Amino acid sequence: MNDEPEKAEKSHRQRSESAPTGGSGVRIRGFTLADYEQALELWRAVGFPDWSLLTRDQVVTKLRRDRDLFLVADLAGEMVGTVMGSWDGYRGWAHNMAVHPSHQRQGIGHLLMGELERRLWHKGARVLNLHYFNDSTWARDFYHSLGFQDATNATTTQKVLKDPEEET
Residue 22 has what pLDDT? 58
Residue 101 has what pLDDT? 92
pLDDT by position in tens, the chain (length 168): 444 444 444 444 434 434 555 557 999 999 999 999 999 999 999 988 888 888 999 999 999 999 999 999 999 999 999 999 999 998 899 988 999 999 999 999 999 999 999 999 999 999 898 887 777 777 888 888 888 888 877 777 777 778 888 865
What CA–CA distance (Å, rounded) separates 97 from 119?
A: 16
Residue 32 has what pLDDT? 94
The closest alpha carbon to 112, from 34, 14, 37, 46, belongs to 46
Which domains are seen in the chain, by residue range? 4-145 (3.40.630.30)
Residue 21 has what pLDDT? 56
Q: 3-state DSSP call for residue 119?
A: helix
Cα 63 to Cα 1, 92, 166: the distances in Å are 18, 16, 28
Q: State the pTM of this model.
A: 0.78
How many CA atoms does the CB half-sphere of 164 hold within 13 Å? 0
Which residue type is seen at 78?
E
Cα 166 to Cα 161, 162, 163: the distances in Å are 11, 8, 6
Residue 102 has what pLDDT? 93
Residue 19 has what pLDDT? 54
